[in-house]
Structure 1
Amino acid sequence: MSGSKIDLKVVLLGKSYAGKTSLVERFIHGRFSGDVVPYQNTIGAAFGAKKIVIGKTPVVLGIWDTAGSERYEAMSRIYYRGAKAAIVCYDLADGTSFDRAKFWINELQQNEEACKVYLCGTKKDIIDTNRSAREVDYHTTTDYADEISADIFETSSKSGENIEELFAKIAEDYLAKQAELKRTKGSTDSIKVGPEMQKGSSCCPR
């Protein structure tokens, strides 16, 4: 697999104002415009892509940033179809956003079982500055992540904390899954070929 290009579809889901767009902006463009540009709701979905290299393998991440408003729910379902990874965002300073994150995870479990979930707590810089601002308990989220077999990251789009690590983990997991599928397929092919070869040799007299 070394040297081959892999395209990986990633979808971001979560409540409005949960920091999804800022997360993508920081990862793809290395910038944070939250303090400069007034917030604008995403309508439908926005797309961006970035290539990263894991080991010697380039991975192109195609990232769909979906609208968080409930009126766009049906549209968001269109964008998460076929996604290999979902970053489900919640605002660490907004307890209701974690409830919304659970809603989207339930959606994925029902409709996209093969999509791996990554829980992402956003706006960690706010919590670091003022611990009393935290409304989503860390232990609650980690227990939930264990329950649904998800990875969890607490990030800051303002400082960039844990954002590169999040996307690198997504790419690493995907490559590991592809390698596992390749090994499994190879083993299955060997099992299928074995009896045929034995049958063929037994019917050929010496």
Structure 2
Amino acid sequence: MSGSRVDLKVVLLGKEYGGKTSLVERYLHDRFHGDVPYQNTIGAAFGAKKVDIGDRTVTMGIWDTAGSERYEAMSRIYYRGAKAAILCYDLTENASFERVKFWVDELLKNEENCRIYLCATKVDLVDTEENKKNRKVDYHETTDYGDSIKAKVFETSSKTGHNIKELFTSIAKDYVEDPRNNEEDVSPKSLDLQEDKTRSRGCCS
């Protein structure tokens, strides 16, 4: 989709191995690599997708950022100007949810017009009687926190595809319904530049 105008810049943030790249892979390409480990993202990886909301088509540019703390300064470059941020955390690791709070503070300080979406990953590892003991992040804790920062919460599985389309559709719908976005966009030139910088970098976290 090189050269297409991006209407809606979406950035994924969160701790490494929190499921960001698997989420993007499932949404953009409808695939899941299972137990094959991803190479850690360096900088960011870019992808784009068109979404129809009513009679309007929205092109989302999606930036999957590095989760390692040593790349935090670089991640700030990629969330600049984002209209939506998906903050990912692994339901089997409480530390990943604590890390989300760091990114929330960053966004509230630096990108006040960026909508925040809390995205739990790996729900397939905690959703049955047999494996529910693996859950380290309480659902009600996350929804209470989401309410406090006016963020929607989605529990997803990249393995099964559960709730992933719903997450991105909600982001596009919220964008279309926000009157502040009627006149703003990301220019084709800036999209091409960003894509060229990120296309060859590794993916994943």
Which residue matches 1:53?
A: 52
Q: Deviations over 1:142-187 (max 9, x none)?
A: 0000000001100000000000000000000000003x666xxxxx
Whether contact under 8 Å (1:6, 1:58) holds in the other structure is no
Which residue matches 1:16?
A: 16
**Segments of 4+ in structure 1 off by > 3 A?**
none
Whether contact under 8 Å (2:175, 2:181) holds in the other structure is no
Q: Residues of 2 paired with 1:54 and 1:121: CA distance?
A: 24
Which residue matches 1:63?
A: 62
Whether contact under 8 Å (1:46, 1:64) holds in the other structure is yes
Which residue matches 1:192?
A: none
Q: Residues of 2 paired with 1:149 and 1:177: CA distance?
A: 15
Higher relative CO (CA 8 A, sep ≥ 6), structure 1 or 2? 2
Which residue matches 2:143?
A: 142
Deviation at 1:38, TM superposition (A): 2.3
Deviation at 1:80, TM superposition (A): 0.1
Q: TM-score, normalised by structure 2?
A: 0.83
What is the aligned-residue identity percentage?
68
Deviation at 1:6, TM superposition (A): 6.3
Secondary structure of the corresponding residue to residue 40 of structure 1? coil
Secondary structure of the corresponding residue to residue 128 of structure 1? coil
Deviation at 1:40, TM superposition (A): 1.5
Which residue matches 2:177?
A: 176
Which residue matches 1:90?
A: 89
Q: Residues of 1 paired with 2:63 and 2:33: CA distance?
A: 19
Deviation at 1:21, TM superposition (A): 0.1
Amino acid at match of 1:137: D
Q: Residues of 2 paired with 1:94 and 1:169: CA distance?
A: 26
Q: Residues of 2 paired with 1:30 and 1:57: CA distance?
A: 23
Higher Cα Rg, which structure: 1
Whether contact under 8 Å (2:18, 2:121) holds in the other structure is yes
Q: Residues of 1 paired with 2:106 and 2:13: CA distance?
A: 10
Whether contact under 8 Å (2:6, 2:61) holds in the other structure is no
Secondary structure of the corresponding residue to residue 39 of structure 1? coil
Deviation at 1:120, TM superposition (A): 0.2
Amino acid at match of 2:14: G
Whether contact under 8 Å (1:22, 1:34) holds in the other structure is no
Q: Residues of 2 paired with 1:139 and 1:168: CA distance?
A: 23
Q: Which ranges in structure 2 are unaligned for 5 or more consecutive residues? A: 183-205
Whether contact under 8 Å (1:45, 1:64) holds in the other structure is yes
Which residue matches 1:160?
A: 161
Secondary structure of the corresponding residue to residue 117 of structure 2? strand
Q: For the structure 1 residues 177 and 6, does the alpha-carbon distance in structure 2 shift closer, same or farther, using more than 3 Å as the test?
A: farther
Select the structure that is richer in helix.
1
